[in-house]
Every structure is written in C-alpha cells, then in structure tokens.
Amino acid sequence: MGTPPWRINEVLDRAQNGPICLEKDFDFKFLVPELQRVIKEYDICFDPLTPIPSDDTLADNLWKAALDFYLTVGTLCTDTYRRIKFTENEIKEALGNFPGKYILGFGRDAREITSRKVEDTRRPFCLFSPDITCDEDLFIPMSMAYLQEPLADGVCAPILDEIEGMPIRSGSPTEVKGSVAHAMMFREAARRVGRPGIFLKSVGTAESAAAQIAASNPEWGERLTDGRFVASISELKVNNSLLNKMVHFHTYGCFVGALMGPILGGYSGGPEGTAIVGLAYHLQGLLVNQAHFLNYFPFHLKHTCNTMRELLWVISMTYQSLARNSNLISLSNGFTAAGPCTPMVLREAAAHALVSVVSGSNLWEIAVAKNRHKNYATPMEARMACEVGCGAAKERITRNDANEITLTLLKSYEKDIETAPLGKSFRECYDIRKVKPSPDYTELFNTIRNELIDLGVPFIY
C-alpha cells in the first residue's frame, strides 16, 4: 500500500493553474456560505450537555458534510490566488492508499504510530511537547525534561526566539543559525537522557523554508526517522513557502506532519462549522500538505484554548468522524487556559486527553497558559494528560462514561477560563541542574491525581 506523497506534481500544478480566486472571495463567496449550507443540509447540531456524543449517525453525517464542503471549496494558495481542488475519486484514492501506521524513530527507541478507532483499547501514541518559546539556556534542560518522560513516544522541542544574544527573525541569517542550533541541541538532549533514537519533531524555530532546509542533516540535525511540519493558513490556505517545505521534506525523505488549527469564532463560526473545517483540514493535510500524520488543535478565537465544552465537542466529533470513515493518523493537541503548577491546568489536561482518546485520537500534549507565555510549560502537564489518555484506553472507558466524567471536570474549571491563572515558569517548577520537578509541583500533581481518581478519571497506573 502506498504512502504520501499523493501525486506531488498534480498539487503543484493546481497551485499554479487552478481556478483564480481572491482571498476575500475565497472566504466570503466560498468558505462561509458553503459551510452554512452543509451545516443545515446534513443537520449538524452541537449539544452543550454532551461534549462526547455517542451518536454514530452524527459522526457519519459530519464526515459527509466535510467531504461535500471540501470538494466545493478546496484550498487556496495565497501567493498565486489559485484554488487547489480535488475530485471525490482522487480523495478516495489518497485515503484508500494511506497505510494507517508507521514506525517513527529508530533502534530500541522506535515506536509504532497507528490510526485509532472510537473507544479503541490500544494505547495512544503520546507525543510530549511544550509548544512554547524558551530562553536559549533552558533549551537543553527543558528538552531533556520532556525526553525523559516514560510515556513519551516522541517529543517536540521548545522554540528559540534568540540565538547567542541575537533575535531570530524569519528570513534572516539568524533564523538559519538558530534553526541549526535547535536541531543540534535537540539531538544532544536526546542522547543525554539515553534515548538517541527517539522520534524528534522539529524544527519549530525554522519558520522559513530556507531555515528548514538548513536543518536537514542526518549526522547532526533532522534525520529521516524524524518528523517535520507543513502548516496551514487559516482557514484552508497555503502559500509557496509551505509548499516549498512540503517538496523538500518529501525529497529529503523524512516524516511529514500537517499542522492545522481551525478557529472557533472566526470564519469557521461555531462548533458545528469548526468541526467541519477541521475534517476538511485533514483532507487538505493528506492531499496538499502531503502528510504522514496530522496535528489538530482547534481553538477559541478569544481564549486561545480548547478545553471548554464547545471545543471538546469539536475534538470529539472530529475524531469520531475520522475514526469511523478513514484510517488517517491524527494527534489531538491540547491547549489549556491555565499555566503550570496550578490545579486548573491539570484538570484541563485530564479533560482534553480523556475526550480525545475515547473518540479515537492519538495525543500531542500540551500547550499551556493559552500558548502565549515564554518559558511557561513543563512535562508535568503532558504527563497528566498522557497518564489519563493511556488509562482511558487500558480501562476500556466508553464515550458515555467519559462524557459524565468530562461534565464533572468542566464544572471544576470552565467558569475560570477567561481569568485562568498563569502559574509558574519552567525555572520555578523544575530544578534545572537535576532536570527534576520541584517538590511543590510533585505534591500538587499527586493531590490532583488522587482527586481525579475519586471522580472516576482513569489512569494507566
């Protein structure tokens, strides 16, 4: 069975020669009206009392709506003002040839990642990630802290915004220098914790195609067994720089991920539209971004998190629909409102992972403090999420049971989303020299863990 890429030249040709369309026309003549049409036509409706629905018909109708929507709208290349469109047979061909599993990393650190089903009892693939910028002197210890986590099947590094006292600016020589340093230091961190072959997802520091290309080196940088990202522009757009990355990553031979975050409250509208756009992004990720795996993080326009009930419903329905109608490999990326070393962030992490895993996803955990604050992330939040997610699979938690637990968790933090506490920075939460969590955070983690167990939240051990 084949693997991505799907007919690269077809995609590049359509990006140059597809139907002409201005960006504002794409948004207001195609995306928004077509989204409104399919929501009504396929009867897609959000129920705030059921963040984890058990309605298989709704999941299948959502898939039909998203397929109809994407076939009509397509993807816009903003540099050429061309719409990249596909036929239903082409989409079926690409889906039908997707293998549904890969081996990531190498040697004894290699791990299998697979597509998952609704209420799947197989352990989810767990990728640990701070999803935040950090000071240069923190890069190696922060990376080591994530890399040494036992449940981590892969790790994404923090992002540098300066190198040797110089700010990193996209398209400048400092971006190339910083991206090369990022790749080198990440490899060093993995070796220092004794996991040299672990799947590394990089290079977040490299925004431009030139900087990504500079970091491709199997000796000291990005290997063929590592992963890279081709992002998207909201909503359902790409540009030449993103397509340049896609072509390079595939000709280089590494694993390619698609990065996509539909915005609730933007052009996607409410939960129903955000879920449809999220599924359309998965089709774009397969066909345009040419991805082996997909990273999915729908988020709220105002609050920039996805742990409120509307977005938990979006996450659940997207993954149930994917799991029932495809074998795409997707990782659910959590975004919390609260920051490290707070009870709220641990409850949010547990809710996100529980909803995601019972609905059929793998885990990418976790962006905290609304993904805005430099140095504000630790592995403890990701540990909580992945212990709960793996526990949900092991304990065979059903959607109905998970829904009741999630409603209880929402009561504990939902009212505080807007005023969520920032918490403490990595320096305050970890002993940097020993790369070890502080006694205070360890005690808090265990306290909240016991509280969640009493609520019926499953843990892997």
Model confidence over 373-399: pLDDT tens digits? 999 999 999 999 999 999 999 999 999
pLDDT (0 to 100) of residue 354: 98
Kindly report each contact of residues 29-36 with a partner whose C-beta sits within 8 Å and lies 24 or more positions away, as own/partner: 30/72, 30/73, 30/83, 31/73, 31/235, 31/236, 31/267, 32/267, 32/269, 34/69, 34/72, 34/73, 35/69, 35/267, 35/268, 35/269, 35/273, 35/276, 35/277, 36/269, 36/273
* Of the candidates 171, 372, 369, 364, the residue with the CA atom closest to the CA atom of residue 260: 364
pLDDT (0 to 100) of residue 202: 86
| Domain membership flag for residue 165 | no
Handedness of CA 385, 387, 390, 395 (dihedral sign): negative
| Domain membership flag for residue 385 | yes
| Domain membership flag for residue 168 | no
| Domain membership flag for residue 407 | yes
pLDDT (0 to 100) of residue 41: 98
Q: State whether residue 210 is helix, strand or coil.
A: helix
Dihedral class, residue 236 (left if φ above 0, else alpha if ψ from -120 to 50, else beta): left
Q: What is the pLDDT of residues 417-443, one digit of tens each?
A: 999 999 999 999 999 999 999 999 999
Local confidence band at 305 (pLDDT 50, 70, 90 cut-offs): very high
Region 203-224: mean pLDDT is 96
Region 93-107: mean pLDDT is 97
Q: Which two tokens stand for residue 331?
A: 């990782």
| Domain membership flag for residue 197 | no
State how far the Cα of 59 lies from the Cα of 43, in Å rounded to an integer: 11
> Above 80 in pLDDT, residue 269?
yes
Phi then psi for residue 56, to 5 deg, are -65, -30
CATH number where 396 lies? 3.20.20.460
State how far the Cα of 373 lies from the Cα of 384, in Å rounded to an integer: 20
Q: What is the pLDDT of residues 400-413, one digit of tens each?
A: 999 999 999 999 99
> Above 70 in pLDDT, residue 1?
no
Dihedral class, residue 67 (left if φ above 0, else alpha if ψ from -120 to 50, else beta): alpha
| Domain membership flag for residue 244 | yes
How many beta carbons lie within 10 A of that of residue 89, not counting itself? 8
Amino acid in position 393: A
* Chain centroid to CA 5: 20
Region 118-143: mean pLDDT is 98
| Domain membership flag for residue 71 | no
Between strands 237-238 and 199-201, the pairing is unpaired
Region 71-87: mean pLDDT is 98
Q: Which two tokens stand for residue 442?
A: 């360890």
State how far the Cα of 245 lies from the Cα of 152, in Å rounded to an integer: 26
State how far the Cα of 278 lies from the Cα of 66, in Å rounded to an integer: 8
pTM, to two decimals: 0.97
Q: What is the count of structural domains for the chain?
A: 1
* Of the candidates 181, 291, 150, the residue with the CA atom closest to the CA atom of residue 232: 291
Q: Which domain holds residue 309?
A: 116-136+214-455
Q: Which residues does 259 contact at the CB level (< 8 Å), separation at least 6?
A: 229, 230, 231, 232, 295
| Domain membership flag for residue 163 | no
Q: Residue 451, CB half-sphere, CA atoms under 13 Å: how many?
A: 15
Q: Which two tokens stand for residue 303?
A: 């609050």
pLDDT (0 to 100) of residue 3: 79
